[in-house]
Amino acid sequence: MYKKLNILFFAFLFAFAFNSIYAQTYKVQQAYDCVKAGKLDSAKYYIEFSMNDSLAKSDFQTWYIKGFIYKELYKQRESENITSSARKIAVESFNKALELDKEKQQKESIVQNLKFLGSKYFNDAKKTIDSVNYTKSLDCFNNYINIYKSVDSNFDEKSKSIEYYLSLSYYFQEIYERSSSSKALDKTKDYLFKALEINSNSIMANKNMAVLYYNMGVNIIKKMDYDVDLEELYKLQEEATKLFKNAEPYMTKAYNLSPGDRTILEGMQGIYYQLNDAEKSNEFKKKLEDLNKQN
């Protein structure tokens, strides 16, 4: 991909070098010469200087070169920096170039450069998807989404967003399971709800929401001391039952959407078991056994 991008860029530069308009924009020409010579700091200086020239500033090719210079700066010096300003400027410049390139002369090349930078945002979103860096991860993910949806008409924003929010909710759920942190629990729910808002028929989102409530119920009883008095025992049991009941509609929806999913069948069996509904629990136990016989 890098090789193709560079070929496209230098093909562009070749055309650019003979473009008479740029006789007027000497600084852009100098920026171009510096890029060609690999002198990125000088190239940056000249391209920024050329931005004072209104003629240069209104031409897509200036922005294209600027985008390329900053992309190279990002690649060579800031590729490990998830908040890289060079990458941000590169994206802004390529977007501006795309906007100004009315005749779509360099559309393919600009789009490929944007996709490249978008993919880097995606990788950073994935790399930082944890409880500490999640705001940075969210920023990276939003940048990725914004880039891709603007350049790829086939891009499935919804499914990517659901995947992302489910992953994010998972990290918070892990923390909640370990520490019982109410903040982590809230975040887990928030991101699961976000996934369900995008697609209420997401099997995974429904299943994970059910598991969250289910585990909350289990945790109440697990933490309970054996010598809790009877009033407290009733109270805790009712709290847990309420959570198992909260889990039930989500798991049922997941089951209706994917009745042959083993983990969902286990989930249905488990929820009804904890709800002391032996009849329904056994019904799903039998379905699981039947499924096992088939396979």
Partner 1 sequence: MKKILIFILICFLWSFDLVDYSLYQKDDMPSKIKSSFIYNFAKSFQWPESNNDQFSIAILGDNTSLLNYLTEMSNTKMIGTKKIAVKKYNSISEVSKPEILYILPDKSSALSDAVTKFKGKGTLLITEKAGSANAGAAINFVIENNNIKFELNKTSAGKAGLVVSSKIETMALKVF
Contact 128, 82 (CB under 8 A): yes
Tokens representing residue 172 in the block? 């918070």
Cβ closest to partner 1, residue 111 vs residue 210: 210
Give the other-Cβ count within 10 Å of 93's Cβ. Answer: 23
Tokens representing residue 64 in the block? 């294209």
CB of 80 to partner 1, least distance (A): 18
Amino acid identity for residue 200 in this structure: S
Tokens representing residue 232 in the block? 């407290």
Pick one of 14, 227, 293, 295: the residue that binds partner 1 (CB under 8 A): 227
Number of residues counted as binding partner 1 (CB under 8 A):
49
Q: What is the rounded CA–CA span in Å between residue 129 and residue 290?
A: 39
Separation of CA 18 from chain center: 42
Angle (CA) 196-200-205 rounded to 5° is 50
CB of 133 to partner 1, least distance (A): 15
Q: What is the rounded CA–CA span in Å between residue 127 and residue 64?
A: 29
Told to check if 80 binds partner 1 by CB under 8 A, we report no
Told to check if 103 binds partner 1 by CB under 8 A, we report no
Pick one of 83, 180, 276, 282: the residue that binds partner 1 (CB under 8 A): 276
Q: What is the rounded CA–CA span in Å between residue 16 and residue 32?
A: 9
Window 118-147: residues binding partner 1 (CB under 8 A): 119, 122, 126, 129
Pick one of 51, 100, 224, 257: the residue that binds partner 1 (CB under 8 A): 224
Told to check if 2 binds partner 1 by CB under 8 A, we report no
Q: Which DSSP category does 20 fall into?
A: G
Cβ closest to partner 1, residue 92 vs residue 266: 266
Told to check if 193 binds partner 1 by CB under 8 A, we report no
How far, in Å, are 23, 91, 208, 230 from residue 237 at the CA level?
A: 81, 55, 22, 10
Told to check if 230 binds partner 1 by CB under 8 A, we report yes
CB of 50 to partner 1, least distance (A): 36
Told to check if 217 binds partner 1 by CB under 8 A, we report yes
Picking from 212, 202, 133, 105, the residue whose alpha carbon sits closest to that of residue 169 is 212
Told to check if 42 binds partner 1 by CB under 8 A, we report no
Told to check if 55 binds partner 1 by CB under 8 A, we report no
CB of 265 to partner 1, least distance (A): 12
CB of 230 to partner 1, least distance (A): 4
- Burial 117-148, CB ≥16 within 10 A → b, else e: bbebbbebbeebbebebbebbbbbbebbbbbb
Window 152-191: residues binding partner 1 (CB under 8 A): 163-164, 166-167, 169-170, 173-174, 177
What is the binding site for partner 1 (CB under 8 A)?
A: 119, 122, 126, 129, 163-164, 166-167, 169-170, 173-174, 177, 204, 207-208, 211, 214-215, 217-219, 221-222, 224-231, 233-234, 237-238, 240-241, 244-245, 263, 266-267, 270, 273-277
